Amino acid sequence: MTALTKLFRTTTFRLSLTYLALFGAAAAVAIFYIYWNTTVLLTRQLHDTIDAELKGLAEQYSAGGLTRLVSTVADRSRTPGNSLYFVADAEGRRVAGNLSAITEELSQSLGPVEFEYSRPAEGGIETRLAFANVFKLPGGYRLIVGRDIEDRRELARVIRSAMLWGLGVMALFGIGGGYLVSRNLLARIDAVSATTRTIMEGDLTGRLPVNGSGDELDRLSQNLNLMLARIEQLMAGLREVSDNIAHDLKTPLSRLRNRVEAALREPYAEPAYREALERTIEEADGLIKTFNALLSIARLEAGAAGDNKESLDVSELVRDVAELYEPVAEERGIMLKADAVGPVYTRADRQLLGQAIANLIDNALKYGAPDRTESANGVVPEVSVTAGAAGSMAEIAVTDRGPGVPAGERERVLGRFVRLEASRSEPGSGLGLSLVAAVARLHGGALRLEDNDPGLKVILSLPTEAQPRANGSAKQAAPGSELRPA
Amino acid sequence: MRVLVIEDDQETASFLKRALKEQGHVAEHAADGQTGLELARVNAYDVLIVDRMLPKLDGLAVIGALRAEEIRTPVLILSALGEVDDRVKGLRAGGDDYLTKPYAFSELLARIEALARRTSPEEGSTRFVVGDLVLDRLSHKVTRAGEAIMLQPREFRLLEYLMKHAGQVVTRTMLLENVWDYHFDPQTNVIDVHVSRLRSKIDKNFATPLLHTVRGAGYTIRDSAH
């Protein structure tokens, strides 16, 4: 019963019922209209016929009086048909006509009247409906001229039953069809509900059934499935991050704790205490940095950043950031070349994109220098940064001549906390490239690693913007003015 | 310098008060937004340090209310929310500077000193002078003891910022934010290298160095003869 109630409550079923009611009403009105018009037409024909008969009889009467009228009536009564005649004397007895007898009611009335009469038929006597006009003649005589209208009654009956049957069948099909369609739909919705329940219980691998018909429910399911896939991916990311936090933040934390504990175990000596405290602050600062980077990546991946996007020239930003790192490169004996000439516009958050470019250059300077032994042969190690347009994408490429990243590891190094063995000696958290990848994704771009043979080529691509929009914030403020976001 | 600290965490507040007093400043404390707003209305402070999340009235609302009443006391916003978007929101609400928790006290001190000085008349001057070093903001020329010093545009702006805050400590982050307009961590000691380049141009051939490194804090430019 509950299943049936549920079915009746479905939108489809209610919709079927509504349509059924509307359609039924329309059909009933149409049939009634046809019936009504037919009746009016038939009544007019009836009146015309009776009037014509009366006219004829009136002529006979005025020409030959009652005798002539009676003989004419008797004459006409002999021809079979639907016409009815009756001439009665003052006592109501039949003088002529094809009606066998008249009722008391009929004999008393005058003018148009509807009545029932009997006539012999196969296997007895049948009662039929008739319509007549009653006239009084001088001497108490009465003339009744009418027609049999039993056919009309029959027609009304036929139409009425047709209407009842029609509506009945329609209701049956309507409700039945609605039931079937609703049941089908309900079954699919139930399947979807069942899946969502399993997902709510924590099983994110569940997917909504898609039957391949391509209808709206299928398309909805497909889109919801895509959404579920994205959620699953995000959840997996989150789990991965918590695992990583456990691994990579606990280590420095326990190091910090051990150092403080060790210092406390020692007898009091100010220089030693001071040094321990300074090291502790350093370690804490490192932890804060790592933590901030993790939070930034998480926010970027959740799409919760980038409200401050503006039109900017990628080339200009690349030159700007390269300029920031140029002295560092020089100090390390690396030649940093920036080749970014033509303006390439994109819509981006200047701070985020700036940080991404900075991370790439910083990585190249840290890990992109060839081994000291190799660079001894007079070749100056080189890191180059370029910006340009490739199709509809702006590409920022940072290349170095270092050891590179093996092809199999290229996907992996974009993950959080991933550091290749060779780079363990350099300080770093292993979050730099993940942050760049997250910035790229937030801006609808991508990050890919290629072989520079020798060395590594990192390409950050972002969708270009054809027409630079008016810029809200000053990119290049006049020297001397403090730069602050507006 | 008279400072009002609006901060609901008792321990942070007393740490700040003690540290500011050690530096010779007068520090007062309000534990919620409402009290803070009332104090800031009545008393003349040089700087307000406002935590972003406060009971009764949140930090940004306090700043908004003050600015609406034409009270222009410089405000440093302290917040655990450190993203660029949060920063921009804080500055739009009327804050003058933004510092993310956790922070180094030296960073906070340098920033509030810079903020308090902002209202000084030096802001609009066209020439900065420290000892025999002169920077002309209009002609973009720098001379030391009458000798012209050639600087790259960025070096000029770096020196300009340092000289505008002459005698004060300027942190690496402040330089990165104000000279380069970058609000992220560049991972490497990029600022140090830029400053040492600048130093080699302005101090190298002269007897008295003007550009000094303040250990654990940042840099300062001052005439040590005074």
Give pLDDT, residue A423.
Answer: 54
**Would an 8 Å CB–CB cutoff place A91 in contact with chain B?**
no
Contact across the interface for B82 and A295, Cβ inside 8 Å: yes
Give pLDDT, residue B53.
Answer: 87
C-alpha torsion angle, residues B201, B207, B208, B213 (rounded to 10): 50
Q: Percent of chain B at pLDDT above 90?
A: 33
**Could you say which of A289, A365, A482 has the minimum Cβ distance to residue B178?**
A482
Taking the CA of residue B106 and the nearest CA in chain A, the distance in Å comes to: 13
Could you tell me if B150 and B205 lie in one domain?
yes
Residue B159's pLDDT band, with cuts at 50, 70 and 90, is very high
Q: Which residues of A touch B100 (CB under 8 A)?
A: 292
Pair of tokens at residue A309: 């996007």
Q: Which residues of B touch A309 (CB under 8 A)?
A: none
**Would an 8 Å CB–CB cutoff place B84 in contact with chain A?**
yes
Could you tell me if B114 and B125 lie in one domain?
no
Decide: A224 and A208 in contact? Cβ < 8 Å. yes
Final residue in a domain of this structure, among B67, B102, B118: B118
Give pLDDT, residue A480.
Answer: 40
Does the structure show a pLDDT above 80 at B27? yes
Class at the top of the CATH hierarchy for domain A2-157: alpha beta
B38: domain range? 2-118
Residue B80 maps to a domain: yes
Could you tell me if B208 and B142 lie in one domain?
yes
Give pLDDT, residue A479.
Answer: 40
Give pLDDT, residue A446.
Answer: 87
**Would an 8 Å CB–CB cutoff place B72 in contact with chain A?**
no
Contact across the interface for B157 and A324, Cβ inside 8 Å: no
Q: Which residues of A touch B180 (CB under 8 A)?
A: 320, 324, 483
Could you tell me if B33 and B97 lie in one domain?
yes
Q: What is the mean pLDDT of chain A?
A: 81
Taking the CA of residue B14 and the nearest CA in chain A, the distance in Å comes to: 20
Q: Which residues of A touch B160 (CB under 8 A)?
A: 479-480
Strand-pair partners of A481: none
Give pLDDT, residue B195.
Answer: 93
Q: Percent of chain B at pLDDT above 70?
A: 96
Tell me how many helices (H) and strands (E) chain B has.
Answer: 8, 12
Instruction: Kindly indicate whether the domain formed by A306-370+380-463 is annotated with CATH number 3.40.50.9100.
Output: no
- pLDDT digits 0-9 by tens, B189-222: 899 999 999 999 988 888 888 999 988 789 999 8
Residue B28 maps to a domain: yes
**Could you say which of B180, B183, B185 has the minimum Cβ distance to residue A324?**
B180
Final residue in a domain of this structure, among B118, B147, B168: B118
Give pLDDT, residue A379.
Answer: 64
Q: Which residues of B touch A350 (CB under 8 A)?
A: 181
Closest CA to B144 of B203, B67, B214, B65: B203
Contact across the interface for A479 and B91, Cβ inside 8 Å: no
Give pLDDT, residue A472.
Answer: 44
Give pLDDT, residue A322.
Answer: 92
Indicate the burial class of A270 (C-beta count within 10 angstroms; 0-12, 13-18, 19 or more).
Answer: exposed
Q: Which residues of B touch A284 (CB under 8 A)?
A: 102
**Would an 8 Å CB–CB cutoff place A289 in contact with chain B?**
yes
Residue B3's pLDDT band, with cuts at 50, 70 and 90, is very high
Q: Which of B193, B194, B197, B198 to mutate to test the interface with A (most CBs of A within 10 A)?
A: B193
Note the residue count of chain B: 226
**Would an 8 Å CB–CB cutoff place A479 in contact with chain B?**
yes
**Would an 8 Å CB–CB cutoff place B183 in contact with chain A?**
yes
Q: Which residues of A touch B84 (CB under 8 A)?
A: 305, 308, 349, 351-352
Give pLDDT, residue A428.
Answer: 62
Q: Which residues of A touch B155 (CB under 8 A)?
A: none
Residue B189 maps to a domain: yes
Taking the CA of residue A444 and the nearest CA in chain B, the distance in Å comes to: 19
Taking the CA of residue B144 and the nearest CA in chain A, the distance in Å comes to: 19
Pair of tokens at residue A37: 């018009």
Give pLDDT, residue B121.
Answer: 56
**Could you say which of B85, B180, B188 has the minimum Cβ distance to residue A308?**
B85
Give pLDDT, residue A377.
Answer: 55
Give pLDDT, residue B193.
Answer: 92
CA-nearest residue to A305 within chain B is: B85
Give pLDDT, residue A477.
Answer: 40
Decide: A352 and A398 in contact? Cβ < 8 Å. no
Residues B138-154: what's their mean pLDDT?
Answer: 89
Taking the CA of residue B3 and the nearest CA in chain A, the distance in Å comes to: 23
**Would an 8 Å CB–CB cutoff place B219 in contact with chain A?**
no
- pLDDT digits 0-9 by tens, A255-305: 888 888 888 888 888 888 888 888 888 888 888 888 888 888 888 877 777
Could you tell me if B138 and B81 lie in one domain?
no
Could you tell me if B155 and B80 lie in one domain?
no
Indicate the burial class of B211 (C-beta count within 10 angstroms; 0-12, 13-18, 19 or more).
Answer: buried
Rounded Cα distance between A428 and A363, Å, is: 9
Pair of tokens at residue A200: 């709510």
DSSP A153-164: HHHHHHHHHHHH
CATH number for B28: 3.40.50.2300
Final residue in a domain of this structure, among B56, B84, B118: B118
Closest CA to A338 of A357, A322, A349, A316: A322
Could you tell me if B78 and B160 lie in one domain?
no
**Would an 8 Å CB–CB cutoff place B71 in contact with chain A?**
no
CATH number for B204: 1.10.10.10
Rounded Cα distance between A287 and B45, Å, is: 35
Residue B226 maps to a domain: no
**Would an 8 Å CB–CB cutoff place B161 in contact with chain A?**
yes
CA A412, A229, A292, B173 dihedral sign is positive
**Would an 8 Å CB–CB cutoff place A365 in contact with chain B?**
yes
Phi (first) and psi of residue A448, to 5 degrees: -135, 150
Measured at the alpha carbon of residue A437, what is the angle toward residues A350 and A415, in degrees to the nearest 5? 145
Phi (first) and psi of residue A423, to 5 degrees: -95, 0
**Would an 8 Å CB–CB cutoff place A13 in contact with chain B?**
no
Residue B190 maps to a domain: yes
**Could you say which of B92, B137, B182 has the minimum Cβ distance to residue A480?**
B137
Residue B186 maps to a domain: yes
Name the residue type at position B85.
D
What is the number of structural domains in chain B? 2
CA-nearest residue to A320 within chain B is: B180
**Would an 8 Å CB–CB cutoff place B75 in contact with chain A?**
no
Contact across the interface for A365 and B188, Cβ inside 8 Å: yes
C-alpha torsion angle, residues A162, A163, A164, A167 (rounded to 10): 120
- Which residue numbers in chain A have pLDDT < 70? 1, 306, 370-379, 415-429, 466-486
Q: Which residues of A touch B87 (CB under 8 A)?
A: 485
- pLDDT digits 0-9 by tens, A431-484: 788 888 888 888 888 888 888 777 888 899 888 886 555 544 444 444 444 444
